[in-house]
């Protein structure tokens, strides 16, 4: 077996280094923009002293973290305690390997065009789901190894939440997969084309909302940050962590956000395509490659802004609300979306995408109405029983009030 | 046998799988054992990749590492948050387990000894087609539709049953 050194080793390594560094710089940019945007939304300044507009603040933070004493408490389970931050960071980083961040560049003299993607594997989506499901270990192991009851509570909350919302995450993309009939992220992005009304977020609007919501839950962001609810659990699963280990937990969270946004952009928002710009520079030229990358970058950036925006818009869910929402609303909606998409795909002969889009929204409304009605009936019958506290073990907090 | 990067990575995965599998049965701390089991299952997924069974590898990680093992860990943590949680092994269990392991080992050795072509297994660089589409066709279109549906219904029944049993009854 002959190995083409340049094409099979050098170029992939360059791509890997580029993306890995971009991700780390992206984390720094996110830390800065989260604080500045939060400041802007709350009508204050935010950090603006270190460097122009406070741009060097993340570097200052990083240096501070590095020089802090690396404290390992005596009561922890040392090997797992040290391993946990890495267990969270590694899955966050390797998910990006299958996400296409641009079209391809043809360079004369090379056999194949260079894909702007680290690995275009056939099972891209499954790879992402598999690696995402590993992320829960970092939280659970870290929480348990800390040997602290608040950490453990945070870890338990987080793992229950992640397992519940992983289902929605997986089911929400089935409709997308049905229409593109491929698991490769590149194919899915290419199938959507350049025009926004052909992107999956319109065809599968309920699934798009469900996927985005589930992604917020998977990244433990507000309004789903029960794992680290400061008012209840000190800091949740990373209470016992300090110095760079704490910083790694933090970095992993931001990386998850960036990678999650990139996945949403690829699956639902047309990837690197945008109308009017698809033919600039010609197929495979360096200019076209750069433009496609820029479009992808901007789309991901906009989505990351939504993350911060939501954080300051919605308050945190209560635990029973979280579970109710995941299991009683998101799951039925995504399941119906699969059935509706499949049925309409077979039944409708013309304008399939339009009818599937309409059908999905209508079905989602019906499902939400039915579930809400059932819950209301359930509550009515329960309020009669509520006088006996044992009848509502999960609503103990309400009873105290 | 030529020693390429691929064989190097293969032996890495094999070593990882075996070493962590040993750790699963020897380590006394139950959470450490569960963690080692995760590495084992992950290593097996890596071995599937070398067999070019891409779909199986991804499903292995999703189902076993991401699902079942998390539930095991969850159960362990729910039942005991203490670090001193140890496994106690009785002599009878040791004998029984050792006997079963020995029988299994003999079976595997017989299979290995009776496989005539295993010495010729060298990597000739053949790329098999991705398996996902074929599996989907077989399960949902061709041979195995009925078994697949029957299994789904069975799982659904188990799911509802589990929810019913674990639920605290509310009587009025």
Residue A282 distance to chain B (closest CA, Å):
31
Q: B59 in contact with A at a CB cutoff of 8 Å? A: yes
Q: Which of A94, A122, A227, A342 to mutate to test the interface with B (most CBs of B within 10 A)?
A: A122
Residue B71 distance to chain A (closest CA, Å):
9
Average pLDDT, whole number, for chain A?
81
pLDDT at residue number A342? 87
SS3 A114: strand
pLDDT at residue number B151? 93
Question: CA–CA separation, B53 vs B10, rounded Å?
Answer: 14
SS3 B27: coil
CB B77 to CB A136 under 8 A? no
CB A147 to CB B123 under 8 A? no
Residue-wise pLDDT for B38-65, tens only, equals 889 989 998 888 888 888 888 888 888 8
Residue-wise pLDDT for B25-34, tens only, equals 888 777 888 8
Residue B91 distance to chain A (closest CA, Å):
29
- Using CA atoms, how far residue A277 sits from A264, A265, A285, A399, in Å, is 21, 17, 13, 59
Give pTM, 2 decimals.
0.84
The distance between the two most distant Cα atoms of chain A, rounded to a whole number of Å, is 80
CB A123 to CB B62 under 8 A? no
Provide the ipTM.
0.78
CB A121 to CB B78 under 8 A? no
Residue B86 distance to chain A (closest CA, Å):
14
Instruction: Report which of B78, B166, B45 is spatially closest to residue A144, judged by C-alpha positions.
Output: B78
Confidence of residue A396 (pLDDT cuts 50, 70, 90): very low
Angle CA B11–B15–B17, to nearest 5: 115
Non-local CB neighbours of A217 within 8 Å, separated by 6+ positions: A161, A162, A164, A165, A224, A322, A326
CB A134 to CB B54 under 8 A? no
Confidence of residue B16 (pLDDT cuts 50, 70, 90): very high
Q: Residue with structure tokens 């579970």?
A: A323
Question: CA–CA separation, B139 vs B146, rounded Å?
Answer: 9
Please say if the pLDDT value at position A387 is more than 50: no
CB A122 to CB B132 under 8 A? yes
Q: Residue A64: is the preceding peptide bond cis (ω within 30°)? A: no
The residues spanned by each domain of chain B are: 5-128, 130-172
Q: Are A364 and A206 in contact (CB under 8 A)?
A: yes
Angle CA A170–A173–A178, to nearest 5: 125
Confidence of residue B122 (pLDDT cuts 50, 70, 90): low
Q: Which of B45, B69, B81, B171 to mutate to test the interface with A (most CBs of A within 10 A)?
A: B81
CB A141 to CB B35 under 8 A? yes
Share of chain B above pLDDT 70, in %: 84
Residue A308 distance to chain B (closest CA, Å):
28
- Using CA atoms, how far residue A396 sits from A175, A303, A388, A401, B172, in Å, is 39, 38, 11, 9, 18
Cβ-Cβ contacts under 8 Å between A and B: the total is 93
pLDDT at residue number B125? 65
Quote the distance between the C-alpha of residue B129 and its chain's center: 24
Residue-wise pLDDT for B85-98, tens only, equals 566 777 888 899 88
CB A159 to CB B132 under 8 A? no
Please say if the pLDDT value at position A234 is more than 80: no
Exposed, middle or buried: residue B54 (CB in 10 Å: 0-12, 13-18, 19+)? buried
Closest chain A CA to residue B34: A141
Instruction: Report which of A88, A119, A142 is spatially closest to residue A257, judged by C-alpha positions.
Output: A88
The top-scoring range by mean pLDDT among A48-57, A278-287, B92-101 is B92-101
Q: Are A348 and A355 in contact (CB under 8 A)?
A: yes
Closest chain A CA to residue B136: A181
Q: Residue with structure tokens 């935010």?
A: A46
Written out in words, the top-level CATH class of the domain with range B5-128 is: mainly alpha
CB B73 to CB A156 under 8 A? no
Q: Which H/E stretch holds residue A3? A: none
């Amino acid at each position: 077996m002959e190995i083409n050194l340049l094409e099979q080793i050098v170029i992939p390594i360059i791509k890997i280094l580029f993306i890995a560094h971009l991700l780390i710089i992206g984390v720094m940019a996110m830390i800065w923009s989260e604080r500045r945007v939060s400041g802007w939304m709350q009508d204050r300044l935010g950090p603006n002293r270190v460097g122009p507009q406070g741009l060097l603040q993340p570097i200052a933070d990083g240096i501070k973290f590095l020089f802090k004493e690396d404290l390992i408490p005596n009561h922890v389970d040392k090997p797992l305690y040290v391993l946990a931050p890495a267990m969270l960071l590694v899955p966050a980083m390797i998910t990006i390997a299958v996400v296409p961040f641009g079209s391809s560049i043809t360079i004369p003299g090379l056999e194949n065009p260079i894909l702007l993607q680290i690995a275009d594997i056939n099972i891209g989506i499954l790879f992402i789901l598999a690696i995402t499901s590993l992320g829960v270990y970092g939280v659970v192991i870290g929480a348990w190894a800390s040997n602290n009851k608040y950490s453990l509570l945070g870890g338990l909350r987080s793992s229950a939440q992640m397992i519940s919302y992983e289902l929605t995450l997986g089911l929400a993309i089935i409709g997308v997969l049905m229409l593109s009939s491929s698991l490769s992220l590149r194919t899915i992005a290419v199938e959507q084309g350049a025009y926004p009304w052909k992107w999956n977020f319109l065809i599968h609007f309920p699934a798009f909302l469900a996927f985005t919501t589930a992604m917020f839950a998977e990244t433990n962001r507000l309004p789903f940050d029960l794992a680290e609810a400061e008012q209840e659990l000190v800091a949740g699963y990373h209470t016992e962590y300090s110095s760079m280990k704490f910083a790694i937990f933090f970095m992993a969270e931001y990386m998850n956000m960036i990678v999650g946004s990139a996945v949403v952009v690829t699956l639902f928002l047309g990837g690197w395509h945008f109308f009017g710009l698809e033919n600039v520079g010609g197929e495979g030229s360096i200019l076209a490659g750069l433009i496609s990358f820029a479009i992808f970058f901007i789309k991901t950036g906009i989505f990351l802004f939504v993350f911060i925006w939501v954080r300051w818009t919605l308050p945190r869910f209560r635990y029973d609300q979280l579970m109710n929402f995941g299991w009683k609303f998101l799951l039925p909606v995504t399941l119906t979306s699969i059935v509706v998409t499949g049925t309409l795909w077979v039944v409708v002969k013309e304008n399939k995408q339009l009818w599937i889009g309409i059908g999905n929204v209508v079905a989602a409304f019906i499902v939400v109405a039915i579930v809400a009605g059932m819950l209301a009936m359930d509550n009515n019958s329960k309020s009669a029983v509520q006088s006996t506290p044992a009848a509502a073990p999960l609503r103990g907090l309400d009873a105290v009030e | 046998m030529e020693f390429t990067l691929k064989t190097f990575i293969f032996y890495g995965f094999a070593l990882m799988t075996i070493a962590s599998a040993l750790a699963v049965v020897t380590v006394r701390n139950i959470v450490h054992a569960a963690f080692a089991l995760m590495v084992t299952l992950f290593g097996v997924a890596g071995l599937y990749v070398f067999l070019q069974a891409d779909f199986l590898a991804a499903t292995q990680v999703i189902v076993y590492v991401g699902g079942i093992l998390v539930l095991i860990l969850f159960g362990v943590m729910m039942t005991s948050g203490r670090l001193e949680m140890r496994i106690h092994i009785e002599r009878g269990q040791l004998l029984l387990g050792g006997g079963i392991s020995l029988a299994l080992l003999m079976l595997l050795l017989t299979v290995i000894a009776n496989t005539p072509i295993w010495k010729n297994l060298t990597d000739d660089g053949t790329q098999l087609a991705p398996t996902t589409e074929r599996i989907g066709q077989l399960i949902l279109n061709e041979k195995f539709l009925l078994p697949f549906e029957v299994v789904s219904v069975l799982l659904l029944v188990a799911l509802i049953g589990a929810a019913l049993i674990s639920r605290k009854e509310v009587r009025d």
